[in-house]
Structure 1
């Protein structure tokens, strides 16, 4: 059963200053700032969190966060302890993504001004990188090897090896479909054993790419503008079909069948946010494909992508939500302002 979200909090309760209202179905396990006990904690970003990813380091589940403070922080997911010093960045970090190279966890840090850099999280050392800024990044496995995809102001994707920095080819857009704008988001998925990428561009178009053949496959969605501008993207495989999930400036969350380029309505419409949807992530939990959304209205929502069913009520945060991730065990990692919170499903 789900509860309605109100402007001033959840279930009619006023939102507490500096505190998160977890809502029915969620509990706050830990958070930076003063979210839980009213005591400010020093371990936080100095500016807005833009991206979050999860991985395992030395047997410990961790979250990796990147922010506009030019820092990348690593957190123990169980305790909230900050693990080591911040990894340096040369500019505002727009994307952090994780992969595994030779059995070792690696994070790729992308900033729009100077570079994309991979770091070994076990040894805390830089591994490889590409010169040139990147607005978006994703990882995949292509022909048995881990690869990184980065995109930026140019209308193509760069594929490279996170262990060596070796360029593995550029994926160039099909200009016959019209202008292909700068890449602002990229996500990957495996469909019938075949790796594919889905991209969102600055003209609001969405495209799909064949990673094995290193080519542009199709334009999935046409340009939009105004309040219908798409500002966030994720992707998942639902019932064997690749779907793209987009978040709009107007708060709408929509699901699209990539192969047919049609909207998937499910059994119920997806409830919109009351402002831009800045954060999107998908995960498979207990065999179910789920999508997590967060936005300017300070709320986070979780939905089942197969049924579109809303799971639990909506956690509310003190500031707009700009980054989300879901761990395979169902925990949520949320970035809002310069803070991080981890929420776990409640038995209720």
Structure 2
């Protein structure tokens, strides 16, 4: 069946735009907009891109993107070819995350009010759903089992099986540490085999949870308000230690040691953006922990979290950056407006 919203229309391509920073290390491999030097493939989303992830499907590296047009698109990461029909959602896709579950690639798609749906990306079929929607989602392996964590307007995390939909219990905040509000973002990582979840809440606090013991461990960052409100979150492991990275409304980027609750004061700070940092993502490439930041100033930066030095130049896009992710080989996926671009990293 033809997908008329996203079908490429001859002669209806946007005017070519030069991506500032490309050619000085980063190389544009393909884009759905008219970026100079990029192979233009199918049209992008019909509305803002809100989330992006990568996966491997039938041996091919893919990008998975979701947006306000209520669909999820799957792209060949190397060529920009659209792979199959759009996966439908029931509302704006605020989160899409991927994982290997029992040897098959699975995507979890969350809209804020209606449904969280897991999909088998190989067979292009739905697996399980969670009625009620979610603002955010993440995956983890707990006691050898793949799980999904979702959060939203309630002050708790829901844990469930992405294949069967079985509830594996809720994680509820410890009232002794004060209010734990609505969950705006959740990310996961494992340190020494112990899976943890880090959450960002509506009062701008950041909290840490032990997933094996199903318990709240404490607050990592205290409340903030006004221009310092935190709006994005990711997590990385640096020198064996878990660190949370947040982006704020005023462009501030914070790096916080989760165990000690301290900042990386001995290292140079990550240079702030000039507006809200809507998107942050972490990856390990060639053994290096990296973090990507993008935001309202249309700029994307990539940072080495060990040296706190920028990898390549600033990348300036034609519109606000609302989604970023990085593949294990270092290729960068950026959502800006309704478009997608994939860039190859600078040579080592």
TM-score (structure 1 length as normaliser): 0.93
- Give the corresponding residue for 1:341: 341
Higher relative contact order (CA 8 A, sep 6+): 1
- Cross-structure match for 1:196: 196
Q: Measure, in 1, the Cα distance between the counterparts of 2:331 and 2:254.
A: 23
Aligned counterpart, 1:6 = none
Q: How many residues align?
A: 333
Give unpaired runs (5+ residues) of structure 2: 1-14
| Change beyond 3 A, Cα 1:74–1:131 | same
Tell me the CA shift for residue 129 of structure 1.
1.3
Distance 1:163 1:83, change over 3 A: same
- After TM superposition, list the pairs within 5 Å mapping 1:129-208 onto structure 2: 129-208=129-208
Instruction: State how far apart, in whole Å, the 2-side matches of 1:31 and 1:265 are.
Output: 38
SS in 2 for 1:334: strand
SS of the equivalent of 1:176 reads helix
Preserved CA contact (<8 Å) 2:136 2:185: yes
Q: Which residue of 2 aligns with 1:20?
A: 19
Q: Give unpaired runs (5+ residues) of structure 1.
A: 1-15
The offset of 1:347, in angstroms, is 3.5
Take 1:347 and 1:287, find their aligned partners in 2: how far apart are those partners? 15
1:39 is displaced (CA, Å) by: 9.3
- The residue number in structure 2 matching 1:96 is 96
CA distance in 2, matches of 1:199, 1:217: 11
Instruction: Quote the residue 1:311 is aligned against.
Output: 311
Q: Structure 2 vs 1, CA of residues 105 and 251 (structure 1 numbering), >3 Å: closer, same or farther?
A: same
- 2:16·2:36 contact (CA, 8 Å) conserved in 1? no
| 1:97-145 deviation digits (Å, cap 9, x = unpaired) | 0011221100000000111110000110000011111000000000001
Classify the secondary structure of the residue corresponding to 1:227. Answer: helix
Per the normalisation by structure 2, the TM-score is 0.93
Q: Counterpart of 1:10?
A: none
Aligned residue in 2 for 1:128: 128
Following the alignment from structure 1 to structure 2, what is the Cα–Cα distance between the partners of residues 74 and 43?
13
Contact 2:42 2:81 in 1 (8 A): no
Cα RMSD, aligned residues only: 1.5
Report the equivalent of 1:293: 293
Aligned twin of 1:261 = 261
Report the Cα distance in structure 1 between the residues aligned to 2:173 and 2:320, rounded to whole angstroms: 34
Cα offset, 1:345, TM superposition: 1.6
1:58 corresponds to which residue?
58
Alignment CA distance shift 1:41-1:55 (3 Å)? closer
> How many angstroms does 1:294 deviate by?
0.3
Q: CA deviation at 1:265?
A: 2.8
Moved more, 53-62 or 266-275: 266-275
Structure 2: distance between partners of 1:265 and 1:307: 12
Task: Decide whether the 8 Å contact of 1:255 with 1:265 is kept in 2.
Answer: no
Provide the C-alpha distance between the structure 2 equivalents of 1:110 and 1:73, rounded to a whole number of angstroms. 14
Deviation at 1:19, TM superposition (A): 3.3
Secondary structure class of the residue paired with 1:169 = strand
1:244 matched residue in structure 2: 244
Show CA shifts across 1:286-316 (max 9, x none). Answer: 1110100001010100111111011110111
Is 1:74 aligned to residue 74 of structure 2?
Answer: yes
Counterpart in 2 of 1:9? none
Change in 2 beyond 3 A, CA 1:330/1:171 = same
CA contact (8 A) 2:293 2:324 kept: yes
Query: 2-side partners of 1:318 and 1:311: how far apart?
Result: 21
2:30 corresponds to: 30
Distance in 1 of aligned mates of 2:313 and 2:40: 26
The 2-side partners of 1:222 and 1:137 are apart by 22
Asked whether the equivalents of residues 30 and 38 of structure 2 are also in contact (C-alpha less than 8 Å), the reply is no
8 Å contact from structure 1 (residues 22, 28) kept in 2 = no
Alpha carbons of structure 1 residues 18 and 132: separation in structure 2 relative to 1, 3 Å:
same
